[in-house]
Amino acid sequence: MSEVLVDFARPYIDAAKTKQEFERIIGIAALAWNVSFHTEETPEELASRLAADLNLPDNEGLKTALAEMIIRRRIWFAHHDRVIIKYQVTDTGRNYHVTVISTLPGQLASGNTTE
User: Would you say residue 49 has pLDDT above 90?
Assistant: no
Distance CA 41, CA 58 (A): 20
Q: Could you tell me which residues are beta bridge partners of residue 97? A: 90
pLDDT tens by residue, 1-32: 999 999 999 999 988 999 999 999 999 999 99
Comparing 72 with 51, the larger pLDDT belongs to: 72
113 pLDDT band, cuts 50/70/90, is very low
Q: What is the pLDDT of residue 108?
A: 67
61 pLDDT band, cuts 50/70/90, is confident
